[in-house]
Structure 1
Amino acid sequence: MTVSQPRPAARRPGRPTRLATGAAIGLPTAGVALGVAQIVAVASSRPRSAPVLAVGAAVIDATPRPLKDFAIRQFGTNDKLVLLCGVYLVLAVFAVGLGALTVRRRAAGFAGLAVFVGVGCAAVLSRPASTVVDVLPAVVGGAVAAGALLVQVRSSRTATTTDAARPRLLNRRQFLVTTGAATAVAAASGAGGVVLGRTNAAGSRSRASVRLPAPADPAPALPAGLSDFFTANRDFYRVDTALTVPQIDARTWRLTVRGAVDRPVTVTFDDLLRRPLRERDITLNCVSNEVGGPYVGTARWLGVPLAPLLREAGVRAGADQLVSRSTDGMTIGTPLEAVFDGRDAMLVVGMNGEPLPLEHGFPVRLLVPGLYGYVGACKWLTELEVTTFDAFDPYWVRRGWAERAPVKTASRIDTPRPLTTIAPGTVRIAGVAWAQRRGISAVEVSVDSGQWQPARLADGPSPDTWRQWVHDWDATPGLHTIRVRATDGRGDVQPEARAGTFPDGATGWHTISVTVSA
């Protein structure tokens, strides 16, 4: 005798699944929360208090160093976009789960929303420059989202539990109307936040109004024959932790010098412009730059010498570190000896003949030649604190990077490009080499591990800039390996041994392979 097994009850045609209903409820709810929070954040002139940006910044802080290095290598300056996309993806998954949970148990769903808001508030408060007021966008966004969630839940429960065909049809329409309305609110608030952010772009408007004075101490003229010596502002590398570029009005900007000083000083942007300005050509590079990497550039900078300002404040005996703070809370520690040893340490206001671009620190950034950016080039500067290395560890030092990081000697092959096929005959191998503060005295090229051949060096304006070099090679058919090494102004040859960027900069000879056609 065959016993038939009961068949599972078929889902009624047209009845939405719990996951689909959860997505229809949760995604608009999250969108409302984030959109309203963005509007409040921008309207209150505190865009950094937007929960998504705060969560993203907290993720950056918590990300292990190897993963950060991987992101920089793989995505370059798009690493922040990739991070934000990842944050939005995680939020979307959480929102779907929240919606599905709410359909089943309303109280649990609202508890999940409270967690959603709480995470945003915690991320906001974790930022170095935050105050209690900064949680207002997350709280307001959460409150509006709770109302949207309640309306949708009531509609969804009726729509999925009514048995009569006609009422179910009418309630489904009601459900679609409520979720559609919530979606419209989310889209409108999100778009409104973007538009409001653009109209409130104080930094862009302020920068457009700035007229920089002529330098009292102009940069020396470039030697004849240099081409593409400067890196255009649009091409200059950008490596920082800011998920959005700070918008600072130069009219309200203030810089405070405090700490171990006799006379704390506060200056405005106009105060700086009234001081004698110095113009210098300086190469700046990031400690995250791999051998042969792109995170190095040379610009003509305009700024106020830093040492006289610190002398006015009266630096006390025993101080050995200058901590610079950015408007977004970033801290960078610079050896005080590097400010007072005669190098062109500056509070920079101009770059390549125009006011600092927003993404490079407008209105004012710090620049100390000869140091990697993470110890000598704070952007969006608001405070300088004179202290000691024993008393305070800046942002990157707390993450294991070196306290003092002088730039290491490096060289790079720019042409020919790696893994390209070139014609036989005379081939020009060219690139740049740098060793800020020491200068470059020689560059040599080796093909297929052969004898090192001297390259011709272009004259450089100062030891603080890179030097362009070129070597003519009689290329023969086949696969070839090309290496370059530099010697600094002290006679020290760039080391061959490869080392990664952590904790104080990469070392090694840049090596490429090319194919010469038959």
Structure 2
Amino acid sequence: MWRAQPIVTASSDTAGRWRAAAEEDEGVSTTTVHPTPLVPRRTAASIGVLAVAAALAAGHLVAGLVSPASSPFLAVGNGAIALAPQWLVEFAKSTFGVADKPVLLGGMALVLLAAAVGVGLASRERPQPGTRALTGLGLLGFAAVALSPAFTPVDLLAPAAAAGVGIVVLRRLHALALPGAPRTGSGMDRRTMLTGTSALVGFGALAAGGLGQLLGGRLTGSREEVTARLRGLALAERAPAVPAGAAFPELGTPTFLTANADFYRIDTALRIPTQTAADWSLRIHGMVDRELVLTFDDLLARPLLERTVTMICVSNEVGDDYISTTNFIGVDLREILLEAGIAPGADQVLSTSSDGLWTAGTPVDVLLEPDRGALLAVGMNGEALPPEHGFPVRMVVPGLYGYVSATKWVTDLEVTTFDREQAYWLQRGWGRFGPVKTQSRIDVPRAAGSTPAGRVTVAGIAWSQPIGISRVEVRLDDGPWTTAELATEVGGDTWRMWRAEVDAAAGSHVVTVRATDANGVTQTEERAPVIPDGATGYHSVVFSAV
């Protein structure tokens, strides 16, 4: 396509070439004296998309070689998470659950797609507008990478490669697509060359992006080696076998131990850190008598302990499912801290993940409790930690919500004070200490479900770390509280299953549950949101008896 410029003149053969090219691309004929050549709209939009796709793929590939977190696409996403207001973070978690990260990445992809189309359409006549737009996107990538907590200068290679490749692809395809462009040196016509180059760029972008993803996820061999080592080592302490009466999965409760693949995941990482066990180390410093640096081999040389622990996210709404139980294998964190020596006045251990995006502040007095059982965990359910759950090493502190204790991919422990350093979630309005609250949940009957009228089975879970559950009661509609049957107790650090039967006549009913801890304190009925330190209130389910 072209548009008329009535004052400027041009030779008839040049105008003819432009007119023929426009007719070839869009089937448009004209008798205008002097045309200004324009790339057809659809072609221009495609060029923009290909240029941005090539840029992202190049950045992802280089990031896979030097530092996976330096991928501009992921760095911008991590920056968006860090800058997002707390209400938006909670909305994403409550609305999308564990799919909040794919939703964020998908939303970013749609925004970039729209921007890419805009880049192409802005460059129909000249490539300069698109070049400026890609330069702006490149600067955004530079800023996101440079402001990352784990930034090193080599990380800038990824956004530099992205910007350079995007601009080169845009200018090259624009030159081929512009009506009136001369034949290539090979004698190939413009349309054929444009089609072939576009296909090559598209294929190259897919291949580069896939290779970058593969290079950034090189953990399989390392995890297999760690699993083999764990299975070959004698444990100084084994978790007791789970008794047969510890759960009622046949009624609809969870199994007592959660499979690794089903364990809930909440963190701030858009891309899972990919540090191998051989490259991992942990620095313990700050207000200590002696600084320690431990390697993975150092950990495995210490007594390994296996402990059954239920973990709960502070974002777990009443009746929600951000709760799981597993057998963790690790070393005693209290012993390591005592070895380093805690200086007087220290009240916080600030733990940091390897990507620098997550920090958690754990009270020193909790970590030093002799019976608390805090671990530097290296395994789950008899194998190495899964990458998404902290491989190679994470923290586990029974009785505390994860936001103040459960740092995954942990590489730094700074002994300090709460007044001196504020962790990630504390900066966003969450509470300082985060003790797990006594709660209970109904798993059957399902909300809005139906069941035959008459004798109805009600079952679920309850928890109160680290002291455990002594009683669970259920109530049908406005009737009296009835004591439920408790499953066999495994320990105070784990959930406890329960079941009861109620008489439900035909119609709609509400069943409610409440739990009492081992000290005789019943959970509060008062409803409270998850912010600042965990939700409270009775869980109720509406069902129909038919």
Structure 2 length-normalised TM: 0.87
Q: CA, structure 1 residues 205+69, in 2 after alignment: closer, same or farther (shift >3 Å)?
A: same
Opposite residue 484 of structure 1, the aligned amino acid is V
**Residue 182 (str. 1) matches residue 210 (str. 2):** no
Contact 2:223 2:384 in 1 (8 A): no
Q: Distance in 1 between matches of 2:466 and 2:224?
A: 37
Residue in 2 aligned with 1:296?
A: 323
User: Where do residues 299-310 of structure 1 align in structure 2 (5 Å cutoff)?
Assistant: 299-310=326-337
Q: CA, structure 1 residues 32+224, in 2 after alignment: closer, same or farther (shift >3 Å)?
A: closer
1:195 Cα deviation after fit? 4.0
Q: CA, structure 1 residues 192+222, in 2 after alignment: closer, same or farther (shift >3 Å)?
A: closer
1:261 Cα deviation after fit? 0.8
1:512 Cα deviation after fit? 0.4
1:328 equivalent among 355, 370, 373? 355
Q: Distance in 1 between matches of 2:446 and 2:529?
A: 22
Q: Deviations over 1:39-67 (max 9, x none)?
A: 111122x1111111111111111222222
Residue in 2 aligned with 1:3?
A: none
Residue in 2 aligned with 1:36?
A: 58
Opposite residue 368 of structure 2, the aligned amino acid is F
Q: Distance in 2 between matches of 1:317 and 1:200?
A: 40
Q: Distance in 1 between matches of 2:434 and 2:131?
A: 50
**Residue 24 (str. 1) matches residue 46 (str. 2):** yes
Q: Distance in 2 between matches of 1:383 and 1:199?
A: 22
Q: Distance in 2 between matches of 1:17 and 1:421?
A: 62
Q: Distance in 1 between matches of 2:212 and 2:501?
A: 56
Contact 1:203 1:246 in 2 (8 A): no
**Residue 114 (str. 1) matches residue 135 (str. 2):** yes
Contact 1:407 1:435 in 2 (8 A): yes
Q: Distance in 1 between matches of 2:516 and 2:459?
A: 16
**Residue 57 (str. 1) matches residue 70 (str. 2):** no
Opposite residue 237 of structure 1, the aligned amino acid is Y
Contact 2:246 2:490 in 1 (8 A): no
User: Where do residues 64-103 of structure 1 align in structure 2 (5 Å cutoff)?
Assistant: 64-103=85-124
Q: Distance in 1 between matches of 2:472 and 2:266?
A: 28
1:138 equivalent among 148, 151, 159? 159
Contact 2:39 2:124 in 1 (8 A): no
Residue in 2 aligned with 1:359?
A: 388
Deviates more, 1:362-371 or 1:142-151: 142-151
1:401 Cα deviation after fit? 0.8
**Residue 314 (str. 1) matches residue 333 (str. 2):** no
Q: CA, structure 1 residues 198+397, in 2 after alignment: closer, same or farther (shift >3 Å)?
A: closer
Residue in 1 aligned with 2:35?
A: none
User: Where do residues 176-255 of structure 1 align in structure 2 (5 Å cutoff)?
Assistant: 176-197=195-216, 203-204=222-223, 206-207=225-226, 209-212=228-231, 213-227=233-247, 228-255=255-282
Contact 1:22 1:97 in 2 (8 A): no
Q: Distance in 1 between matches of 2:312 and 2:498?
A: 18
Opposite residue 480 of structure 1, the aligned amino acid is H
Residue in 1 aligned with 2:405?
A: 376
Q: Distance in 1 between matches of 2:27 and 2:83?
A: 45
Q: Unaligned regions of 5+ residues in structure 1, if any?
A: 1-10, 163-168
Residue in 2 aligned with 1:267?
A: 294
Could you tell me the percent identity over the aligned residues? 45
1:201 Cα deviation after fit? 5.2
Q: CA, structure 1 residues 345+198, in 2 after alignment: closer, same or farther (shift >3 Å)?
A: closer
SS of 2:55 mapped into structure 1: helix
**Residue 14 (str. 1) matches residue 27 (str. 2):** yes
1:47 equivalent among 60, 68, 92? 68
Structure 1 length-normalised TM: 0.92
Residue in 2 aligned with 1:166?
A: none
Q: CA, structure 1 residues 273+507, in 2 after alignment: closer, same or farther (shift >3 Å)?
A: same
Residue in 1 aligned with 2:465?
A: 436
1:209 Cα deviation after fit? 4.7
Residue in 2 aligned with 1:474?
A: 503
1:200 Cα deviation after fit? 6.8
Q: Distance in 2 between matches of 1:387 and 1:441?
A: 37
Residue in 2 aligned with 1:149?
A: 170
1:104 Cα deviation after fit? 3.4
Opposite residue 251 of structure 1, the aligned amino acid is A
2:368 equivalent among 340, 346, 349? 340
1:155 Cα deviation after fit? 1.8
Q: Deviations over 1:166-209 (max 9, x none)?
A: xxx94334433333333233223223323444567565455455
Q: Deviations over 1:263-294 (max 9, x none)?
A: 10011111111111222111110001000000
Contact 1:443 1:469 in 2 (8 A): yes
Q: Distance in 2 between matches of 1:110 and 1:476?
A: 71
Q: Unaligned regions of 5+ residues in structure 2, if any?
A: 1-21, 29-37, 183-187, 248-254
1:172 equivalent among 174, 191, 194? 191
Opposite residue 371 of structure 1, the aligned amino acid is L
Q: Distance in 2 between matches of 1:267 and 1:349?
A: 13
Contact 1:19 1:96 in 2 (8 A): no
Residue in 1 aligned with 2:13?
A: none
Q: Distance in 2 between matches of 1:206 and 1:107?
A: 52
Opposite residue 448 of structure 2, the aligned amino acid is L
Q: Distance in 2 between matches of 1:137 and 1:338?
A: 42
Q: CA, structure 1 residues 504+18, in 2 after alignment: closer, same or farther (shift >3 Å)?
A: farther
Contact 2:350 2:414 in 1 (8 A): yes
SS of 2:116 mapped into structure 1: helix
Q: Distance in 2 between matches of 1:206 and 1:90?
A: 41
1:103 Cα deviation after fit? 2.5
Q: Give me the CA root mean square deviation.
A: 2.1
Opposite residue 367 of structure 2, the aligned amino acid is V
Q: Distance in 2 between matches of 1:513 and 1:226?
A: 26
Q: CA, structure 1 residues 129+197, in 2 after alignment: closer, same or farther (shift >3 Å)?
A: closer
